[in-house]
Structure 1
Amino acid sequence: MINSLWIAKTGMSAQQTQLDVVSHNLANVSTTGFKRNFAVFEDLMYQNHRQVGSQSGDNAELPTGLHLGLGVNVGSTSRNFLQGGLENTGNQLDMAINGQGFFQVQMPDGTTAYTRAGNFTLNSTGEVVTPAGLRVLPGITVQRGDLIDIGADGTVSVTRAGVTTPGPRIQLANFINPAGLEPMGNNLFRETVASGAPEVGEPLTNSLGEIRHKFLENSNVNVVEELVTMIQTQRAYEMNSKAIQTSDQMLAKLSQL
């Protein structure tokens, strides 16, 4: 009877975590390049009261065992890297990746971070940077009045006073396990052991996607799906709460015997 109280408690805790994940998704439904998160549930260890296949008598063995579970746990949160919808903004510094890959961004400590959000801007020296002021690699610098054109293969062309000159070529990074990247906030990810080392290359090569100039990738959160998940989470939380109430009532009856 006491186990049922603990089991229901783990269910309520897990559903609360699920609601936290859903709330985070809904809060970022308009965040450029955001990828939907989801919780991964695992059942907890079991109490083995009777081993399956053990001997029940002469020349007889049990076809089933007696294993009582102890609840549920959120083993991890993962991320869905499906492509978000592309939106034409007309901004000459906006870029979107149509397919696999990440833009590379230089952190203040010199390390490289990765992002799907291509809503870039300029700093005071004319460098193309993220909204947080981090330099976009390999480094693009423009002057006032320059016109920038970026091809699907990452080729940058700068038109200044009617003269077009080639600029640096944008390279993308990809990972064997993008779900293993560590989120840092500000739409950035960090390489981890689980993600594997980055495979850097030019767009449209080695399974990397193309660059869509003057486009942005929208969040891949589906509001309807998240609301359905929220309702399911609420119902599951209520059922676990009801299990605690029922266990408490049964214990009260037992104490009266």
Structure 2
Amino acid sequence: MRALNIAATGMAAQQTRVEVISNNLANMSTTAYSARRAEFADLLYQQPRLAGTVNAADGTILPAGVQIGMGVRPSAVTFDVVQGAMKATDAELDLAIDGKGWFEIEAPNGEPVYTRDGSFKRTGDGQLVTSEGYALTPNIVIPGDTRRVTVNKDGEVYAIFDDQVQPQLLGQITLVDFVNERGLEPIGSNLFRETAASGPPNVGAPGEDGRGVVRQGYLEESSVDAVTEITELIQAQRGYEMNSKVVTAADQMLAATTQMR
């Protein structure tokens, strides 16, 4: 009976949906995390009788056919880069992107990767790095005798020294944007990798060509909405239960057929 297989695909789909929801809820406190969403597509159809064919009995055209669906499958798990709320931290190396854009990071293997998590740290050499120790690109090095660091909305990093009146420009943080941000590949640690689907990175100064600006002393919070996720979780649970009832009903029908024979 096809109903068993069809309901099984429905249960598997709802299980995938719950897994995505659970990952969203687990990352409610992850800096700059964008909520994921599971998307589904129907499977192929068996068509014992096609619409538009000629009725052999009288030669009329059939206005409708017989189409029996084979179930559902996951088609994608996507994310929209929806900016989370700005959380004030007052830490001079906490940077948030207000608008579109990504920070470029150099992975240990030299590969460029991208993040919106601006909770930067300073190494013993004064280099700006992520919490995982990956260097920010372009490289910014803060001298050891720096009293204070300021970053303006254009990404310009200045160091203030005790023996100097004017701040010293250390460099400018650039931002990267993509034609299709959904095509980026998440690799963990709040990092993403360029793919053929995302298109090549477009590097430029903050505030130019639609890119956001940099806010010092802020971090971007997760965009996960707990109420929405719980509602989705309840819907997924009900969908799983209904598909399991289909399995039970189909099993009972098969048992009744077997007893008749």
Question: Scaled by the length of structure 1, what TM-score is found?
Answer: 0.97
Q: How far, CA to CA, are the matches of 1:197 and 1:160 in structure 2?
A: 39
Q: How far, CA to CA, are the matches of 2:39 and 2:230 in structure 1?
A: 18
Q: How far, CA to CA, are the matches of 1:202 and 1:95 in structure 2?
A: 15
- Contiguous gaps of at least 5 residues in structure 2: none
1:243 aligns with 2:242: no
Q: How far, CA to CA, are the matches of 1:125 and 1:146 in structure 2?
A: 15
1:36 aligns with 2:39: no
SS in 1 for 2:55: strand
2:146–2:159 CA contact under 8 A, matched in 1: no
Q: How far, CA to CA, are the matches of 1:190 and 1:242 in structure 2?
A: 42
Q: How far, CA to CA, are the matches of 1:162 and 1:246 in structure 2?
A: 82
SS in 1 for 2:172: coil
Q: How far, CA to CA, are the matches of 1:124 and 1:166 in structure 2?
A: 20
Match of 2:123 in 1: 123
Match of 1:93 in 2: 93
Give runs of aligned pairs for residues 8-157 of structure 1, distance below 5 A: 8-57=7-56, 58=58, 60-142=60-142, 143-157=144-158
Amino acid at match of 1:115: T
Match of 1:222 in 2: 225
1:188 aligns with 2:191: yes
**Structure 1 residues 48 and 144: CA distance shift in structure 2, 3 A:** farther
Amino acid at match of 1:98: D
Amino acid at match of 1:253: A
Match of 2:172 in 1: 169
Amino acid at match of 2:140: I
SS in 2 for 1:61: coil
RMSD, aligned CA: 1.0
Match of 1:200 in 2: 203
Query: By how many angstroms is 1:144 displaced?
Result: 4.6
Q: How far, CA to CA, are the matches of 2:6 and 2:156 in structure 1?
A: 57
2:138–2:173 CA contact under 8 A, matched in 1: yes
Cα offsets for 1:7-27 (capped at 9, x unmatched): 000000111110000000000
Q: How far, CA to CA, are the matches of 1:62 and 1:120 in structure 2?
A: 67
Q: How far, CA to CA, are the matches of 1:192 and 1:119 in structure 2?
A: 25
Query: What percentage of aligned pairs have identical amino acids?
Result: 41
Amino acid at match of 2:168: T
Amino acid at match of 1:150: V
Query: By how many angstroms is 1:156 displaced?
Result: 1.1
SS in 1 for 2:251: helix
Task: Number of aligned residue pairs: give it.
Answer: 256
2:145–2:161 CA contact under 8 A, matched in 1: no
Q: How far, CA to CA, are the matches of 1:53 and 1:65 in structure 2?
A: 8
Query: By how many angstroms is 1:146 displaced?
Result: 2.9
- Contiguous gaps of at least 5 residues in structure 1: none
SS in 1 for 2:155: coil
Q: How far, CA to CA, are the matches of 1:34 and 1:45 in structure 2?
A: 35
SS in 1 for 2:171: coil
Q: How far, CA to CA, are the matches of 2:64 and 2:101 in structure 1?
A: 49
Q: How far, CA to CA, are the matches of 2:141 and 2:101 in structure 1?
A: 23
Query: By how many angstroms is 1:160 displaced?
Result: 1.5
Runs of at least 4 residues off by over 3 Å: none
Amino acid at match of 1:157: Y
Amino acid at match of 1:17: T
